């Protein structure tokens, strides 16, 4: 039970090293290009056309049993987070946007 609680509060974003982290943490995120989630070019185009869901409307955003967030897009200002488990696209939090870079 204790491991389940730790997992429930640990986050659902996939960090650069494959660990899970919270969406608010300032850590580099796993981009789909170097992760276990490998969408095709057609799938990436489909994801680009999905509407961005307001973060406030996403239940259990930090629960890795429900969500597994990957960064999609390579442009600094054109990146979003995508969850293949729920087919949800959303904008990045400040921690996701900056990663471990200096806040400018």
Q: What is the DSSP string of 45-62?
A: HHHHTSPEEPGGG-TTTT
Q: How far apart are CA 48 and CA 56, in angstroms?
A: 20
Name the region of 59 (left: φ>0; alpha: ψ -120 to 50; beta: rest).
beta
Long-range contacts of 77-82 (CB under 8 A, 24+ apart): 80/47, 80/52, 81/13, 81/23, 81/29, 82/32, 82/47, 82/50
The 10s digit of each residue's pLDDT in 28-67 is 776 665 566 778 889 989 999 999 999 889 999 888 899 9
pTM: 0.76
């Amino acid at each position: 039970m204790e491991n389940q609680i730790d997992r429930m509060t640990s986050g659902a974003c996939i960090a650069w090293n494959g660990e899970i982290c919270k969406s608010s943490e300032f850590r580099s995120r796993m981009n789909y290009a170097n992760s276990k989630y490998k969408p095709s070019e057609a799938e990436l185009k489909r994801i680009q056309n999905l509407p961005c869901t307001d973060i406030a409307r996403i239940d259990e955003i930090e629960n890795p049993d429900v969500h597994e967030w990957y960064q999609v897009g390579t442009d600094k200002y054109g990146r979003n987070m995508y969850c293949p488990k729920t087919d949800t696209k959303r904008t990045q939090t400040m921690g996701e946007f900056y990663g471990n870079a200096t806040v400018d």
